[in-house]
């Protein structure tokens, strides 16, 4: 049973990034910040990597529980061009060979895409440097937020949000990467003993979203839950996701998707109920770590 340190309902945030991908707090800083924010449970879910798990566990403050997870870069090829989507995976075996290989492949594809985006920018006379951007990622999974930082450093945009606008990384300089087929990703996460949850499935403000019929197919293929409460969902989108989850028998989560100063959202801004948490813990092969 998870209990709260304050006697009220436990505060559970199941989606957060560290410097192991595109967050700005190190894994240790992230778990300390979660504790200071009064959270009882945090999931570390860096993009396509488990590299933050060990340092986060080592730094885990007393009273905080840590769910080890990741956010997998996926795509659905049922329409052209394929729709990119994110799959949160919780409590899986980080040594499952096929999953390890697939994550390594996606990280390499991210580097290749990042370098091509920089090539497009440079061809247009934008003075950004791929080696600087890679260095800025500090060995973590590289993503567009790192390129956004280079645009900010060059004085071309004022914020990460602006860098994701249509003139920059949101459209003009947006290139696809070789993401994992979403059905394969669900199969791999389940094979590794993990619990797959579709991250921000209705985030129309991020771009195209997949149809509900696809979500029903994913549920039949082993998807466990849907992230409903998220800053990229309008209240109507949150309600829609909840209703769909109820219809399909999926669990529902809410999470901040915290990225440190790369986004404005704060830890615990959205949270998950205890019942969903207990279902995830019961279904996962990895123990929840306790501080």
By CB under 5 A, what part of segment 249-278 binds Fe ion?
A: 257
For residues 194 and 91, is the Cβ–Cβ distance under 8 A?
yes
For residues 83 and 210, is the Cβ–Cβ distance under 8 A?
yes
Nearest approach in angstroms of CB 87 to ligand AMP is: 12
Nearest approach in angstroms of CB 207 to ligand AMP is: 9
For residues 24 and 17, is the Cβ–Cβ distance under 8 A?
no
- Nearest CB to Fe ion, comparing residues 22 and 229: 22
Q: Say if residue 48 is exposed, middle or buried (CB neighbours under 10 Å; 0-12, 13-18, 19+).
A: buried
Q: Say if residue 85 is exposed, middle or buried (CB neighbours under 10 Å; 0-12, 13-18, 19+).
A: buried
- Nearest CB to ligand AMP, comparing residues 22 and 229: 22
| Per CB under 5 A, 22 contacts Fe ion | yes
Residue 253 binds what, of Zn ion, ligand AMP, Fe ion, none (CB under 5 to 8 Å, by partner type)?
Answer: none
- Short-list 222, 195, 193, CA closest to 95: 193
Nearest approach in angstroms of CB 200 to ligand AMP is: 9
Residues of the shown chain interacting with ligand AMP in the complex, contacts defined by CB under 6 A: 22, 47, 143-145, 160-161, 164, 206, 259, 262-263
What is the chain's length?
291
Tokens of 12: 């559970």
| Per CB under 5 A, 86 contacts Zn ion | yes
Interface residues with Zn ion (CB under 5 A) are 86, 199
Interface residues with Fe ion (CB under 5 A) are 22, 71, 257
């Amino acid at each position: 049973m998870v209990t709260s340190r304050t006697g009220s309902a436990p505060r559970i945030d199941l989606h957060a990034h560290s410097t192991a991908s595109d967050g700005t707090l190190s894994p240790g800083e992230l778990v300390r910040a979660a504790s200071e924010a009064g959270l009882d449970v945090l999931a570390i879910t860096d993009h396509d990597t488990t590299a933050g798990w060990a340092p986060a566990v080592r730094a885990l403050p007393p009273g905080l529980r840590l769910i080890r997870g990741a956010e997998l870069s996926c795509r659905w090829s049922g329409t052209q061009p394929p729709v990119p989507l994110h799959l949160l995976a919780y409590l899986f075996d980080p040594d499952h060979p096929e999953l390890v290989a697939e994550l390594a492949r996606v990280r390499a594809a991210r580097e290749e895409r990042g370098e091509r985006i920089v090539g497009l920018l440079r061809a247009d006379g934008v003075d950004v440097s791929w080696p600087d951007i890679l260095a800025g990622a500090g060995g973590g999974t590289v993503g567009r937020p790192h390129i956004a930082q280079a645009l900010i450093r060059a004085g071309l945009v004022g914020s990460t949000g602006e860098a994701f606008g249509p003139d920059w990384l949101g459209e003009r300089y947006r290139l696809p990467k070789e993401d994992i087929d979403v059905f394969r990703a669900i199969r791999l996460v389940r094979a590794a003993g993990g619990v797959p949850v579709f991250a921000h499935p209705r985030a129309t403000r991020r771009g195209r979203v997949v149809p509900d019929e696809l979500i029903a197919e994913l549920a039949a293929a082993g998807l466990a839950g849907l992230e409903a409460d998220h800053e990229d969902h309008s209240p109507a989108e949150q309600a829609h996701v909840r209703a769909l989850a109820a219809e399909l028998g999926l669990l529902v989560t809410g999470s901040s998707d915290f990225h440190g100063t790369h986004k404005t959202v704060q830890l615990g801004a959205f949270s998950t109920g205890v019942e969903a948490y207990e279902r995830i813990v019961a279904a996962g092969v990895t123990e929840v770590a306790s501080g």
